Amino acid sequence: MKKAYLGIDIGSISTKGVIINEENEILAQCYLWTEGNPMNASKNVLHELKSQFDAANSREEYKIVASGTTGSARKLVGSMIGAQVVKNEITAHAVGTTTLHPDVRTILEIGGQDSKIICVENGVAVDYAMNTLCAAGTGAFLSSQAHRLGVEVEEFGEIALKAKKAAPIAARCTVFAESDLVHKLQVGCPKEEIIAGLCKAVAGNYLNNVAKGKKIVAPVVFQGGVSKNAGVVRMFEEELGMPVLVDENGHLMGAFGIAVLAKESQDERAFSFDVADMEFKTREVTCGKCANHCEIICVYRDGMLIDSWGNRCDNGAIKQQ
Amino acid sequence: MIQTIGIPGGLMIHRDGVLWKNFFEQLGFHCVTSRKSDRQILEQGTERAVDETCLPFKMYLGHVMELMGKCDAVFIPRMGGFKTREKMCTRYEALPDLVKNIFRDEQIPVLTVSYDWYDRTTEEKVYLELGDKLGKTKKETKKAYIFAKKQQEAWLKSREKAQNQLMEKEGTKVVLAGHPYVLHDAYMGGELARILEKMGASVLYTDYVDRDSALKKSYDFSRVMPWLINREIIGALMALRKKADGIVLVSAYPCGPDALVNDMLIRRIKDLPVLSLTLDAQSGTAGVETRIESFIDIIKYQKAGGYGTKN
Amino acid sequence: MELRIDNRKKVAFPRINHYDYAIRYIVEQGIGAQFILLPPATKKTSELGSKYSPDYACAPFKHSLGSLIEALEAGAEVLVETGGLCRLDYYGALQKEIIRELGYRCDFINLAEYMGGSKKEWIRLARHINPKLNPAKLVTGAYEGVKMAEYMDEIEAMYYRNAGFEAEKGSYKKVYRQFLMEMQIAESGQEIKRGYQRAKQALEELPLKMPENPVRIGVVGEYYTIMDEHSNQFLQEKLINLGASVHRFMNITNCHFRAKETALRPRIREYAQYSMGPTTTWTINSAMDYAKQGFDGIIHVKSFGCTPEMDAIPVLQNISRDYHIPVLYLSYDLQESDTGLDTRLEAFYDMLERKKKVLR
């Protein structure tokens, strides 16, 4: 039997899963909405991966020997599926992208809540930066502005490309951008120019803020939800004066990267899809042992406490049953 | 060889620019100043500044960029302050090195004077050193400094005089209180004066007063406050408040000294209406306009004896 | 039977990490007053501080205001706030005003008013706190208190350098905690010295599993936030838990007693000709040292809106470029949760570790 590796990326908006073989080829993949329930979403991802795996009769050929989780609910799902590797999404993305694009030098990423830049040399991340303050200029910002304009955010890219010029809009802060936007609407600025302006603002804000002081070297790969927006891609290309590559599998990069990391860990343990049918529950306990009032998360599998975290000090440590 | 000296049109040019320009010109140099602040200058400065830095500094960087290629050296003074309780914000201590690090690739030649409160030096001494650096004799430099200082004082005196006349006039008078480089910058505080005047209020500035006496008065307000400019603002406020109907505290986001001092001012000034405005990088004067309008309304109502009475 | 009533004045000072113990020592052994030693800061401290502070005040202002209010609640009669460079020089004046407006009655001593003053004035101030002051005891107490701070700096540095590699989990922390406990209750110079020697020896004897090339991270930045664990959300502790060796030049010893700004500045000449602000020279100098010594990464720590440290950033960016060393920039306000910081630190550490493995 050949070895295979599972990776799940549980983000605030979407959950992604892949199974890869030792050659880093994707055997099965899945992408669906998290819908605020990371445990359910992960179970659904597992079900889907299992049926793809079964359909290709891969279960006879491959055995999953290691798994990894990443994304905001990585800890929870990690203890749920007993993952060997639980890592943050920055590392997972860097590893995933450099595995698929060994020559990449700069990875731009704008997601729903945050944005980051990763500088790569010889296939290894050597420097990175993340947005520091608020969600200005991220996917959440674009969605809220789309809502205000009465346009679906998915249409943004297409509309923006139609504009002759981009209206000047500042994206430093959501509040200010909104007042700019309202003003532009009031003076009768065409919608596509405003949308192009928003795309430009997102790219400009990113370069001014997240990427400040970092040298952007080609080849550049652009990832994250906002990379699906052709308007922003074009603005990046214009500002940087170099082509910006968007991988069609970009959305799977985190899951792919964490699967690669699971493989690299060489910590092997048979994985069973049975966990997708077990019952998991979480409970939040407020620790009263000091004024920090830490929120401790406890995870139960079929009624048994299997993990807990969230305590700042040892006073709040919960003993496993 | 330095022939043309560039003076960025931001920060302390609004307070000491007359001195600088006359000093250099007296010594036979040609001076160029960047144009008035506008959105483009701010934008290009913002591109190079660390995001958290204050609006006036971003603007200043934009002005420095405007001067590139137009002069042989840019004059970027390093002003720490002359006394322990009359310092400048620490950004002024960093200014020349900061600009050099930010524009390292562009290699801007920087000309500077440098002083700190612990050096126990005087303005005259540091300008004599500057003259020496520029290859001028002590005699020439001293003459140039004295001339420039006189010009500076005359400039301020004429503004003080005009303001004193304005103070005696009838009508609503509002004090604009803030750092000179916020109040008089065309893209920052410049708009505020225009809005206030449009609403029929006369504008008094905290920097158009006699600096020495303002400074002296400020010690009645606080013995320990470390900042020179905030002292000048407070001293001026104490002198102007008798004639004014309201105070608009103007700060540019984010100003370290103002964050603490303006909070103290608002706690202490109880007898006059105070409006506190923080300017951000946006062109959105709409919000500011509304706030000033309602502030003027309050003043007018109060003058007429409270709400409900005719103004 | 003799009934002894403690009528010493109750004095408090804003928290600054475990330096509280040294301050306690000086107040109790030197001045002869009672020191209100506060328990470690919690979320409530930050909440109190930010509730009553101006929005744009720097985080250390908010933290220290929170501490002072908690001290009042714990019965403090005399509050002491220090002066210093930058905005710190005005903390006392504004905090005094805020505390008065909140209606607390207490004696508020703003050391900013005494800075640069004569020795006589300082003695008069100490006498004001304790009329029965013994000046000779004050001198010894102050000396021993400072010594304690230096010892704590030394042991702390050892701890963060090595604890990530302890052979037996928790062994380092145990010794470190024991040491801090001894400093907290020390009543004589001898006790301080003995506690220090014991801790130093114990730490030196503890077995380590140090890899050949450990990930080394240098922490640089703003005076208060970098030293105060509560303010930086236990940054260094988090880093050793990830497995790094953590170095920090900035501490009371190095800042006040060892390295003078004027002595350090010539070393950073290629980046700065003048002093760029209160602690900027230290920041640049240590970042350069770490880069030259081949550290894997640098973390720059400051409170949000900290002007001098903001102005160090363009220099650090140049150092990062020149020496090929990644710098992680952290800007602290009063954070609610640790999640964001944890992700950043983990990613930073992972990056350094992977880079080391592949590029070596």
Where in chain B are the domains?
4-150, 169-303
Instruction: Residue B276: list chain C partners with CB under 8 A.
Output: none
Q: List the strands of the sheet with B4-7, edge to edge.
A: B30-33, B4-7, B73-75, B110-111
Helix (H) or strand (E) holding C332, with range, is: strand C327-332
Q: Is C35 helix (H, G, I), strand (E, B) or coil?
A: strand
Q: Are B245 and B271 in contact (CB under 8 A)?
A: no
Sign of the alpha-carbon torsion through B54, B55, B61, B64: negative
Identify which of C87, C93, C113 has the shortest CB distance to residue B256: C87
d(CA B269, CA B234): 11
> What fold, for B169-303?
Rossmann fold (3.40.50)
Q: Is C29 helix (H, G, I), strand (E, B) or coil?
A: helix
Closest listed residue to residue C237, CA positions, set C355, C328, C341: C341
Q: Determine the residue among A130, A208, A214, A240 to mutate to test chain B binding: the one whose Cβ has the most chain B Cβ atoms within 10 Å.
A: A208
Sign of the alpha-carbon torsion through B114, B116, B118, B121: positive
Is the pLDDT at A174 greater than 90? The verdict is no
| CB-count burial class (<10 Å; 0-12, 13-18, 19+) for A241 | exposed
| C-alpha separations of B227 from A74, B11, B94, B218, C81 in Å | 49, 15, 16, 11, 19
In percent, how much of chain C has pLDDT > 90?
85
Strand partners, A221: A107, A245
Q: How many other CB atoms are there within 10 angstroms of residue C346's CB atom?
A: 17
Residue of A nearest to B51 (CA): A209
In percent, how much of chain B has pLDDT > 90?
77
Q: Are C70 and C64 in contact (CB under 8 A)?
A: no
Residue of B nearest to C93 (CA): B224
Q: Are B309 and B301 in contact (CB under 8 A)?
A: yes
Domain formed by B4-150, architecture: 3-Layer(aba) Sandwich (3.40)
Strand partners, C302: C331
Q: Mean of the per-residue pLDDT values for chain A? A: 85
Span(s) in chain A for CATH 3.30.420.40: 2-97+254-277, 103-246
Average pLDDT score over residue span B34-59 = 92
How many CA within 13 A on the CB side of residue A232? 30
DSSP code for C30: I
DSSP code for C168: S
Q: For A43-56, write each residue's pLDDT tens digit.
A: 999 999 999 988 88
Q: Check A176 against B281: CB less than 8 A apart.
A: yes
Closest listed residue to residue C277, CA positions, set C86, C105, C132, C141: C86
d(CA A278, CA A267): 24
Per this entry, what is the length of chain A?
A: 321
Is the pLDDT at A129 greater than 80? The verdict is yes
Model confidence at A170, in pLDDT bands (50, 70, 90)?
A: low
What one-character-per-residue DSSP string does A229-256 give?
-HHHHHHHHHHHTS-EE--TTGGGHHHH
Low-confidence ranges of chain C (pLDDT < 50): none
Identify which of C87, C93, C318 has the shortest CB distance to residue B101: C318
- Pick from A30-39, A184-193, B119-128, C196-205: least confident: A184-193
Closest listed residue to residue A117, CA positions, set A241, A22, A244: A244
Identify which of B46, B47, B280 has the shortest CB distance to residue A176: B280
Q: pTM for the full model?
A: 0.89
Top CATH class, A103-246: alpha beta
Q: Which residue in the block uniquely carries the two structure tokens 């350094």?
A: C352
| CB-count burial class (<10 Å; 0-12, 13-18, 19+) for A306 | middle
How many CA within 13 A on the CB side of residue C129? 27
Domain range C213-360, its CATH number among 3.40.50.460, 3.20.20.70, 3.90.600.10, 3.40.50.11900? 3.40.50.11900
Q: Is C191 helix (H, G, I), strand (E, B) or coil?
A: helix
Q: Check B286 against A132: CB less than 8 A apart.
A: no
Q: How high is the pLDDT of residue B310?
A: 44
Contact pairs from chain A to chain B, CB under 8 Å: 26
Identify which of B89, B98, B223 has the shortest CB distance to residue C314: B98
From the CA of B225, how many Å to the nearest CA of chain C? Answer: 6
Q: Which residue in the block uniquely carries the two structure tokens 């679906």?
A: A152
d(CA A231, CA A234): 5
SS3 string, A32-56, reads EECCCCHHHHHHHHHHHHHHHHHHC
Q: How high is the pLDDT of residue C314?
A: 96
Q: How many other CB atoms are there within 10 angstroms of residue C263's CB atom?
A: 11
Q: Check B281 against A170: CB less than 8 A apart.
A: yes
Strands (E), A35-131: 62-70, 85-86, 106-110, 115-121, 124-130
Is the pLDDT at A254 greater than 50? The verdict is yes
Identify which of A180, A208, A209 has the shortest CB distance to residue B282: A180
Q: How high is the pLDDT of residue B309?
A: 45
Find all residues with CB under 8 Å of C357, minimum gap 6, and list them.
none
| C-alpha separations of B76 from A147, B20, B79, C201, C286 in Å | 47, 11, 9, 53, 27
In percent, how much of chain B has pLDDT > 70?
95
Q: Is A85 helix (H, G, I), strand (E, B) or coil?
A: strand
Q: Determine the residue among B40, B44, B282 to mutate to test chain A binding: the one whose Cβ has the most chain A Cβ atoms within 10 Å.
A: B282
> What fold, for A2-97+254-277?
Nucleotidyltransferase; domain 5 (3.30.420)
| C-alpha separations of A266 from A19, A91, A92, A219 in Å | 16, 18, 17, 31
Q: How high is the pLDDT of residue B311?
A: 39
From the CA of B205, how many Å to the nearest CA of chain C? Answer: 24
Q: What torsion, rounded to 10 degrees, do the Cα atoms C272, C275, C280, C282 define?
A: 90
Domain formed by C10-133, architecture: 3-Layer(aba) Sandwich (3.40)
A26 phi, psi to nearest 5 deg: -80, 120
Cα angle C194, C198, C200; round to 5: 115
Find all residues with CB under 8 Å of C119, minimum gap 6, and list them.
none
Where on the phi/psi map is residue B244: left (φ > 0), alpha (ψ -120 to 50), or beta? beta
Q: For C1-47, write each residue's pLDDT tens digit.
A: 566 778 899 999 999 999 999 999 999 999 999 999 999 999 899 99
SS3 string, chain B, reads CCCEEEECCCCCHHHHHHHHHHHHHHCCCEEEECCCCCHHHHHHHHHHCCCCCCHHHHHHHHHHHHHCCCCCEEECCEECEEECCEECCHHHHHHHHHHHHHCCCCCCCEECCEECHHHCCCHHHHHHHHHHHCCCCHHHHHHHHHHHHHHHHHHHHHHHHHHHHHHCCCCCEEEEECCHHHHCCCCCCHHHHHHHHHCCCEEEECCCCCHHHHHHHHHHHCCCCCEHHHHHHHHHHHHHCCCCCEEEEEEECCCHHHHHHHHHHHHHCCCCCEEEEEECCCCCHHHHHHHHHHHHHHHHHHHCCCCCCCC
Q: Check B263 against C54: CB less than 8 A apart.
A: yes
Q: How high is the pLDDT of residue B39?
A: 87
A180 and chain B: CB distance < 8 Å anywhere? yes
A171 phi, psi to nearest 5 deg: -110, 20
d(CA C8, CA C30): 13
d(CA B248, CA B233): 12
Q: Determine the residue among B46, B48, B51, B55 to mutate to test chain A binding: the one whose Cβ has the most chain A Cβ atoms within 10 Å.
A: B51
Structure tokens at A312: 């700042």
Amino acid at C268: I
From the CA of A292, how many Å to the nearest CA of chain C? Answer: 5
Rg from Cα positions in chain A: 21
Q: How high is the pLDDT of residue C9?
A: 93
d(CA B28, CA B91): 30
Q: Is C7 helix (H, G, I), strand (E, B) or coil?
A: coil
Cα separation of the two ends of chain C: 74
Residue of C nearest to A125 (CA): C351
d(CA C234, CA C227): 10
Q: How high is the pLDDT of residue B286?
A: 62
